[in-house]
Each structure stands twice: as C-alpha cells, then as structure tokens.
C-alpha cells in the first residue's frame, strides 16, 4: 500500500485571497512518496468524513506538503481556522497523478479557479517549456501566478469579467499555442474544451477530475464516474483510486 496515515504539523498558514488558504505542512512520510496530481484526504476536527485536497506542492527533502484550498462549506471553513503548530490527520498520497512530459516537450497546463493548485507542482516537470493558462472569476481571485512564473513557466491569464488578462475562458488562451501534451484541472466545460483542443492538435491530454468523496481509497461508491474503455464501451470507475487524473479519451465528460 503506497499511502499512509500521518499526523502533519501546520508550519505555515496564510490567506491568498478572501476565501483561499495556503498551508505548508510537515509530513515527511507522505512528501517522500508524493507524485504531482495526487491528493491527501484531510481529517476535519468534528467531522466524520475527510476532505480531499490536491497536492499543490511537495518537497521530499524538507518533508513538506503545500495545500491550497478554498472555503466551500463547513469542513473547509474549519480547516481555515487552524493555526500554525496545529496537527492535521492526513491520509495519502492518494490516487494517480499526472504523467510527466517527455524531455524537451512543450507542455500546456490549463487550470480554472481552485483547479489551479495541482498544476503548480505538475508544471515544474516542464520548467521553461511550461505554457500555463489560468482562468479566474475576477482579478482579485487570481492565485499562484507568481509561483508558476518563478518555476520558469509562461503564464496567460483569463478572467470571466475581463478585469485582468483575456476576457473569457482559460482554454481560449491556449488556442494559438503550440504544445506536445496538455494537462487540465477545473470545471467540466473547461476540461471538455482542453480535451477538444488537444484532439484537434493531435497531442495527448490528461484531465484531473473532481467528484464528491467519502473513503478516498476505492472502498465505497462515493466518487463513481463514467469511464470509456478502448473499445468504446462504458463503465463506472472511481475518481479516488483510478484518478483523479485520467487520459482524456477515457472519461465520459
Ligand atoms: C481529488 C480532489 C482534489 C481536490 N483538491 C482541492 C484543492 O486542491 N483545493 C480545494 O480548494 N478544493 C479541492 N477539492 C474540493 C474539496 O475537496 C471540497 O471543496 C471540499 O471537500 C468541500 O468540503 P466542505 O466540508 O467545505 O464542503 P461541504 O459541501 O460541506 O462538504 C460536504 C461533503 O461533501 C464533500 N464534498 C463537497 N464538495 C466536494 C468536492 N468538490 N469534491 C469532493 N468532495 C466534496 C466533502 O468532502 C464532504 O464530505 C478537491 C476535490 C477532489 C475530489
Ligand atoms: S471515495 Fe470511496 S470509492 Fe472513491
């Protein structure tokens, strides 16, 4: 079994925007095994079910994980109140992550809203060959732009209201770019747009899906999602165990 339960220590907690939080957690066991695109299932004090949060970053040498999450409901609101020094009960690393681009390949990363964090660690593998298109509601919701740029990526921004960057969707920014492989995480219409663009350009594409989760390890049916076999027949798989990252042609979006 590649995952484990580990008590992490919250080293650093900060707000990136009004409702998005940035945690750095000491969890050497999970950090050592982590792959880009995987997630941890975080126990929330007072709640029975854990909450899945992607690995925005990890550092095996320092034994740290970075989680960036938005307050959506009660569980994430409780997590947001945790202070530095608090202990977090983590299960992970879980799921299958993003396959790395091949040496020298131009890699496109398209993220929308809170789908952006897992792409940060993933895009490190492409370095200066990373083309990153990020979409947000409005300028004040933009997160992690400088982090991507510090890794050497070229970043294109889009906002729904046109207050910063392209007025429209993140996937629009990718239409005229040339790339060898595509990765995306965010709302379903965005995933469809990236899948279609990659198909048009004839390059492989990997999508990270989000589904409500309970166990996080394939033991319940909480995260069932329709998948497509190579022969075109459909079946239900688990986002937690079979994903969250899937080859674009294998998911029925
Ligand atoms: C693989 C994966 C990675 C994720 N990574 C991130 C991330 O990096 N940053 C981030 O902000 N959010 C991420 N999410 C979404 C995050 O898990 C939910 O926003 C969070 O669980 C909501 O919990 P809540 O108690 O605040 O909301 P509530 O609506 O009160 O939650 C009630 C229950 O529904 C589940 N639930 C609600 N919404 C979701 C959802 N969208 N996905 C899965 N379970 C949900 C909760 O876990 C909980 O069990 C991820 C989801 C998945 C599946
Ligand atoms: S959350 Fe239980 S099977 Fe995926």
> 28 C-alpha to center of ligand 2: Å?
25
- Is residue 132 over pLDDT 90? yes
CA 213–ligand 1 middle distance (angstroms)? 8
- Positive or negative torsion for Cα 25, 134, 155, 102: positive
Q: Is the CB of 86 under 6 A from ligand 2?
A: no
Ligand 1 centroid to residue 175 C-alpha, Å: 30
Residue 218, pLDDT above cutoff 80: yes
Which residue matches tokens 């299960």? 91
- The terminus-to-terminus CA distance of the chain in angstroms comes to 30
In angstroms, the CA 207 to CA 220 distance is 22
Chain-wide mean pLDDT for the chain? 96
Q: Tell me the average pLDDT across 41-53.
A: 96
**Atom number, ligand 1, closest to the C-alpha of residue 56:** 8
- pTM (two decimals): 0.96
11 C-alpha to center of ligand 2: Å?
29
For 150, the token pair is: 């510090």
The pLDDT of residue 1 is: 58
Overall average pLDDT of the 37-51 stretch:
96
| Mutate-to-test residue for ligand 2 from 48, 210, 241, highest number of ligand atoms within 8 A of CB | 241
Q: Which one of the ligands is nearest to 209 CA? A: 1
Predicted local distance difference test score (pLDDT) of residue 24:
98
Is residue 153 in contact with ligand 1, taking CB distance under 6 Å?
no
Predicted pLDDT at 130: 98
Is residue 53 pLDDT above 80, yes or no?
A: yes
221 CA closest ligand 2 atom index: 3
Residue 107 pLDDT: 98
> Domains in the chain, start-ordered, CATH in brackets?
4-94 (2.40.30.10), 98-208 (3.40.50.80), 210-253 (2.10.240)
- Regarding the beta carbon of 74 and ligand 1, being less than 6 Å apart is answered yes
pLDDT tens, position by position, 138-152: 999 999 999 999 999
- The Å distance, Cα 187 to ligand 2 centre, comes to 20
Name the residue with the closest Cα to ligand 1, atom 21.
51
Q: Which ligand is nearest to the CA of 220?
A: 2
Res. 179: pLDDT tops 90? yes
Tell me, what's the pLDDT at 221?
85
Q: Is the pLDDT of residue 44 over 80?
A: yes
Strand ranges of the sheet holding 154-159, from the earlier edge strand across to the other edge: 166-167, 154-159, 130-136, 107-112, 181-185, 205-208, 245-247
Q: Residue 186 Cα, ligand 2 centroid: separation in angstroms?
A: 20
| Average pLDDT estimate for 146-175 | 97
- Name the band, by pLDDT with cuts 50, 70 and 90, for residue 2: confident
Which ligand is located closest to the Cα atom of residue 225?
2
Question: How far apart are the CA of 221 and the centre of ligand 2, in A?
Answer: 5
Q: What is the pLDDT of residues 81-126, one digit of tens each?
A: 999 999 999 999 999 999 999 999 999 999 999 999 999 999 999 9
Query: Which helix (H) or strand (E) is 11 found in, with range?
Result: strand 4-15
Would you say residue 181 has pLDDT above 70?
Answer: yes
Q: Give 223's pLDDT tier (boundaries 50, 70, 90).
A: very high
């Amino acid at each position: 079994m590649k995952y484990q339960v580990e008590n992490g220590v919250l080293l650093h907690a900060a707000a990136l925007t009004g409702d998005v939080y940035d945690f750095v957690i000491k969890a050497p066991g999970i950090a050592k095994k982590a792959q880009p695109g995987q997630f941890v299932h975080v126990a929330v004090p007072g709640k029975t079910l854990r909450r899945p949060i992607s690995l925005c970053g990890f550092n095996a040498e320092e034994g740290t994980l970075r989680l960036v999450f938005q307050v959506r409901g009660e569980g994430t609101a409780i997590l947001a109140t945790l202070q530095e020094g608090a202990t977090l009960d983590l299960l992970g690393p879980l799921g299958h992550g993003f396959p790395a681009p091949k040496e020298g390949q131009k890699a496109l990363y398209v993220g929308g809203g809170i789908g952006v964090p897992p792409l940060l660690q993933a895009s490190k593998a492409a370095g200066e060959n990373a083309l990153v298109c990020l979409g947000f509601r409005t300028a004040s919701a933009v997160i992690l732009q400088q982090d991507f740029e510090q890794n050497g990526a070229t970043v294109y921004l889009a906002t729904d209201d046109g207050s910063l960057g392209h007025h429209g969707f993140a996937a629009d920014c990718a239409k005229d770019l040339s790339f060898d492989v595509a990765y995306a995480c965010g709302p379903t219409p965005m995933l469809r747009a990236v899948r279609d663009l990659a198909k048009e350009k004839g390059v492989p594409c990997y999508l990270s899906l989000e589904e409500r989760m309970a166990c996080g390890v394939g033991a319940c049916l909480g995260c069932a999602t329709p998948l497509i076999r190579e022969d075109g027949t459909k079946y239900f798989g688990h986002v937690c165990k079979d994903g969250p990252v899937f080859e674009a042609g294998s998911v029925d979006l």
